[in-house]
Amino acid sequence: MTSRVLPIFPLGSVVYPGQTIGLCIFEDRYRELLSDVQDTLEFGTYLIDGPKVAGSPFRRSPVGTIVQVMGFQPLHDGKALVAIQGKQRFVSRKWLKDASYPKAVIEETPCQGNSVDQELLHSTSTAVRALRALHSEVHLEDKLDKNAPIEGSDKAMVWQLAALAPLSVHDQYKLLTISVPNERLEALSQLCHERFSDYQRLINMSAQESKWSTDL
């Protein structure tokens, strides 16, 4: 594993390798971070947990994602829109205090395992698409395409399925911490089935409440 110092941008969400998201940069310290990475166009992201008690610090997650800046658009009010794409997982080993923004000594942690189980990949893809369809039934304002394509290498498709699954941020982070793709697929499939059951119970409860209202 390769160790190096990396600037870190905290997020309330998870970025997976291969996933592209947009950021709105408005704090001076993170504008400084962007200026400092002009040569490499790389920094890290990690998930922060909100403080459980008012005034307490955020908890830093130890596993994060190295990201690449794919596009940058400054705005007239001093803010900037930045497109980033996940590249590689990392584990933070030591947090530094020599900059206005977070920095850490990190170790890159590439995926382990040589091959992806094709049957497991197919069954997990089916579970993710079924969950997306049911999610759209429960959350009418958040329609998800159950036929969203996945492509690329087998390992890339494992990450894409994780990104497509409508899971909680803590479940998404759990998947990021798993280094073996087949183990990640198994965990993702289990999470999808648990979430599917939750949605089905919610639908049944809503149907029962509707029946009671009609009977009254």
Structure confidence by residue, pLDDT tens digits, 158-184: 999 999 999 999 999 999 999 999 999
What pLDDT is recorded for position 20?
A: 96
Q: Contact, 61 vs 48, CB < 8 A?
A: yes
Cα separation, 170 vs 140, in Å, equals 23
User: Could you count the other beta carbons within 10 Å of the beta carbon of residue 195?
Assistant: 19
Higher pLDDT: 60 or 183? It is 183
Q: What is the pTM of this model?
A: 0.87
Model confidence band, residue 199 (pLDDT cutoffs 50, 70, 90): confident
Lowest mean pLDDT among 100-109, 157-166, 206-215: 206-215
Find the angle CA(159)-CA(91)-CA(30) to the nearest 5 degrees.
Answer: 90
Backbone dihedral region of 59: left (phi > 0), alpha (psi from -120 to 50 degrees) or beta? beta
Percent of the chain whose predicted confidence (pLDDT) is above 90: 65
Fold of 3-108: 2.30.130
Amino acid at 67: V
Cα separation, 16 vs 118, in Å, equals 21
Higher pLDDT: 44 or 138? It is 44
pLDDT in tens, 32-59: 999 999 999 999 999 987 544 444 456 7
Indicate whether 214 pLDDT > 60.
no
Q: What is the mean pLDDT of residues 10-35?
A: 93
The residue extents of the domains of the chain are: 3-108, 118-215
- Return the CATH number of the domain spanning residue range 118-215: 1.20.58
What pLDDT is recorded for position 209?
A: 53
Amino acid at 21: I
What pLDDT is recorded for position 201?
A: 78
The yes-or-no answer to whether 3-108 and 118-215 have a common fold is no
